[in-house]
């Protein structure tokens, strides 16, 4: 229960980080809350560290991506040490579940990190646009932004999109694995436990809805350049998914 509550709370804070991509002059106390959200999304510009380390935009983007998924070696080492004390531990199963839970929890952070070069804001009087996270880079002008876009697409294809596709595919195959009694099906059920452990058995499919909401929220600042459309779209998405969640009540634990 505690882990589930912590995960849901962490995701809720990450949702706020989407608001930092909007061209709004926030005031306290909202500004301080969004600063925390930026910290959780590893935005060096928001943390005022970009100038301190004098890194190129490509290095900053790579840093945000690596930090977001860089816990894999630490998780593997911890599980390997645990296996030395517990030989019966299935290392592959536990590592898959641990990293799956990490990526699921940090999904918004990872997507925002990958798509930051695609989020632009308009200059005054419509004289071009700049990347919001790196204002010195002009959008769709020159090789620097092109290299950032290529880097962004590579990162998206490396983690977020395959993870979302795997979530959908695993969820669709779950009924067949549950009905089967083969060793392979049992192993797959164990490896995909992180996708379903938070949800009630009859709402096993809610993981798809949960990840789809996160993905769509992150895409709003890219698809719409108008602030009015961005705010309207975010409001509609949050309201729609809030109603869906209220109607389905998908959580395994009532207190979640």
- Contacts for 137 with CB less than 8 Å, ≥ 6 apart: 57, 117, 130, 131, 144, 145, 148
The separation between the first and the last C-alpha atoms of the chain, rounded to the nearest angstrom, is: 8
Mean pLDDT of 101-106: 85
- Contacts for 7 with CB less than 8 Å, ≥ 6 apart: 101, 104, 105, 198
The span from the CA of 94 to the CA of 44, in Å, is: 32
Give the lowest-confidence range in 25-39, 68-82, 129-143, 220-234. Answer: 25-39
* Structure tokens, 129: 């646009």
The span from the CA of 124 to the CA of 248, in Å, is: 45
Per mean pLDDT, which of 108-112, 144-148, 243-247 is the most reliable?
243-247
Confidence at 256, pLDDT banded by 50, 70, 90: very low
138 strand-pairing partners = 130
103 neighbors 159 (Cβ within 8 angstroms): yes
Output the average pLDDT for the chain: 82
Mean pLDDT of 226-243: 90
């Amino acid at each position: 229960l505690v882990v589930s509550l912590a995960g849901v709370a962490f995701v809720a804070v990450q949702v706020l980080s989407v608001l930092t991509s909007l061209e709004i002059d926030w005031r306290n106390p909202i500004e301080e809350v969004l600063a925390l959200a930026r910290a959780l999304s590893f935005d060096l510009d928001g943390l005022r560290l970009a100038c301190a380390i004098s890194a190129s935009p490509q290095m900053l983007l790579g840093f945000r991506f690596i930090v977001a998924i860089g816990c894999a070696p630490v998780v593997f080492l911890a599980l390997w040490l645990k296996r030395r004390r517990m030989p019966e531990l299935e290392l592959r199963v536990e590592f898959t579940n641990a990293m799956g839970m990490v990526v699921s929890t940090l999904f918004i952070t990872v997507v925002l990190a990958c798509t930051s070069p695609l989020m632009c804001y308009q200059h005054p009087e419509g004289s071009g646009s700049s990347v919001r996270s790196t204002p010195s880079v002009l959008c769709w002008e020159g090789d620097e932004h092109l290299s950032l876009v290529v880097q962004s697409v590579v990162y998206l294809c490396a983690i977020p999109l395959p993870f979302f596709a795997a979530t959908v595919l695993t969820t669709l195959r779950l009924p067949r694995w549950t009905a089967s009694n083969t060793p392979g099906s049992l192993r797959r059920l164990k490896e995909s436990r992180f996708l379903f452990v938070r949800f009630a058995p009859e709402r096993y499919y809610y993981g798809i809805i949960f990840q789809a909401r996160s993905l769509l929220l992150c895409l709003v600042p890219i698809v719409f350049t108008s602030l009015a459309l961005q705010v309207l779209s975010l409001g509609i998405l949050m309201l729609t998914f809030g109603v869906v969640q209220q109607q389905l009540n998908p959580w395994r634990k009532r207190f979640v």
